[in-house]
Structure 1
Amino acid sequence: MSPEQRRAMIVRAALPLLVTQGATFTTAQVARAAGIGEATVFRAFADKDALLDACVAEALRPDTALAELASVGLDQPLANRLTAAATALRAHLERLGAVLAAAHSAGRPGRSRRNTRSHPDQDPTAARTRSDHGPGAAPSHPEHGPGEARTRPDHGPADARSGRAESTAAVRAAVAALLAPEQDRLRLPADRLAALFLAVLLPGRGPLPGDPPTPAELVDLFLHGALVTTTEEANR
C-alpha cells in the first residue's frame, strides 16, 4: 500500500467517526476502525488536525456523487434519470453537511489550530496529544486531497474558489449528460438546463426545512412547471 493509499484508508475510517462523534473521536478509534496500529496514523498524518483537514477535503470531493451520476442509465425515462441525480446529489450534500458541522464544532472554519501556534514544530508530541484528546480544527485548505492539507500550506482563498468552481462544473456537466439524449425536446441547451436544475435542487437555503420537497416532486416541477396548461396553450 502506497503512502497515499494508506492516508486514504485512514480518512475513510475516520469519516464515520467524525460524523457520529464530532471532533471528539480519537486516533486510537480511527486505528481500530482501519485495522492498523495508532502509530501508523501518525506516520500518515502529523497530528489529528491534519487528519481532520483531510477528512473535510475528502467530504468536499464530488467523486462519489459524480460516479453515481455516471452510473444512471440513459435508457431510462428522463424523469427517472433526474430523480436519480437529485437523490445522489442530496445524499452528497447531507454527508458533506454532517462532516462540516462536526469540523465547525472543532474550531473556527477555515483555520487550523496548529496555524495559531507560534512554534508548531518544537513539541510535536505535545501537539499530537492535544489534538487527540481535545477539539480538532476545521480545514485550512479544504480542496486538498487526503493528507495534502498539511503539506501544502501556501494555498489560500483563490485555490478554494478554483476547487469549488471545478467541482460545480463537473456536477453540471454530469447532469447535462443526463439531459443530452432529449436535446431535441429541450427548450434550452442541456448545459443551461443542468444549471437551472441544480439551482432549483440545491438552493443556498432551503425554504421548507421541516418538510422539504422530495426529489420526485422537484423533478416533476422542473419538467412540467407549476401550472397546468391546456392543449391549445401548450401548442402556442
Structure 2
Amino acid sequence: MAPEERREALIAATIPLLHAHGTDVSTRQIASAAGVAEGTIFGVFESKSQLVVCSLVKALDPQPTLDALAAIDRGAGLRQRVAEAAEIVHNRFIDGAHLMHAARRLFFETAPDADAQQRIVDSRRQMHEAVVEIFEADVSLLRIPPDQAGRLLLLHCGANAFGPFGDPEEFRGTDLATLLLDGILIKDDKRGDRTTC
C-alpha cells in the first residue's frame, strides 16, 4: 500500500474510534481497527497526536454539509428552504458534537495547532455563508439581513445540540423555520398582535 493510501486508511480507521472513545483512543485500538501492526502508525505519522489531529480534521470536514446545503432546491419557498437547511445543520452538529468539543479542546488548549485552528475558523465561515445563501433570494421578505438570519439559524441549532436546554430528539426543521420566520406571538389579522409588549 502506498504511503498516502496507508495514511488515509489509518485516518478512516481512527474516525469511528474517536466517536466511540474520544481523543483517549489508543494506538493499539487504531492498529487493530486498521488491521496493521501498531508500529505501522509511526511509520506514517510522527505521533498518535498527529494522527488524532488529522482524523479530527477529516471527520469535521464541512464539505458534505456544504454540498447538502447547496443541493437544497432554490426554487422551493423560503420556509421549506429554511426547514431543510435547519435539519442539515442540526444533524451535522448532533453527529459531530463530541468531536467538535474534542477538537476545540485539543486544537486550542491541550496542543495548540494554528493550522487546525484556522480550519475550524474557515469551516465556521463556510457554514455561515452557505446558510446565508438560503435566505438571500428572499431578502425583500426579511426584517433582518440574511447574514443575521443565518447566524440565528446556526445559533439555535448549535444551542440545541450543545446547550443544557437542548432537546435534539424533539428538533424539527419546520419548527425552527416557523420560529425564525414568524416569531412566537399569535397574530390576529384584525387586531394585529393579540399580546401587547
What is the TM-score of this pair, normalised by structure 2? 0.74
1:195 to 151, 174, 181: 151
Once the two structures are superposed, residues 4-48 of structure 1 have per-residue CA deviations (whole angstroms, 9 ceiling, x without a partner) of 56534432232112212443352322323xxx7766543321232
Once the two structures are superposed, residues 143-183 of structure 1 have per-residue CA deviations (whole angstroms, 9 ceiling, x without a partner) of 53xxxxxxxxxxxxxxx3x4443322211110111112212
Q: Secondary structure at the match of 1:110?
A: helix
**Distance in 2 between the 1:223 and 1:208 partners?**
20
RMSD: 3.4
Shift of 1:88: 1.7
Once the two structures are superposed, residues 46-78 of structure 1 have per-residue CA deviations (whole angstroms, 9 ceiling, x without a partner) of 232221121222234322221211121112222
**Is residue 189 of structure 2 the alignment partner of residue 223 of structure 1?**
no
Contact map agreement 2:82 2:134 (CA 8 A) in 1: yes
Residues 70 and 109 (structure 1), Cα distance of their counterparts in 2 relative to 1, 3 Å cut: same
**Distance in 2 between the 1:69 and 1:191 partners?**
16
* Residue equivalent to 1:95: 95
Aligned-partner residue type, residue 138 of structure 2:
E
**Is residue 188 of structure 2 the alignment partner of residue 185 of structure 1?**
no
* Residue equivalent to 1:110: 109
**Distance in 2 between the 1:142 and 1:14 partners?**
22
* Fraction of identical pairs, as percent: 24
Task: Give the gaps of 5 or more residues in structure 1.
Answer: 113-139, 145-159
Richer in helix (by share) = 2
Aligned-partner residue type, residue 224 of structure 1:
D
Shift of 1:84: 1.9
Residues 193 and 41 (structure 1), Cα distance of their counterparts in 2 relative to 1, 3 Å cut: same
Deviates more, 1:200-209 or 1:1-10: 1-10
Aligned-partner residue type, residue 219 of structure 1:
A
**Distance in 2 between the 1:210 and 1:183 partners?**
29
Q: Secondary structure at the match of 2:138?
A: helix
Shift of 1:225: 0.8
Task: Give the gaps of 5 or more residues in structure 2.
Answer: none
Aligned-partner residue type, residue 218 of structure 1:
L
Q: Which has the higher contact order (CA 8 A, sep 6+)?
A: 1
**Distance in 2 between the 1:46 and 1:55 partners?**
14
What is the TM-score of this pair, normalised by structure 1? 0.64
Residues 72 and 3 (structure 1), Cα distance of their counterparts in 2 relative to 1, 3 Å cut: farther
**Distance in 2 between the 1:21 and 1:15 partners?**
10
Q: Alignment length, in residue pairs?
A: 187
**Is residue 29 of structure 2 the alignment partner of residue 30 of structure 1?**
no
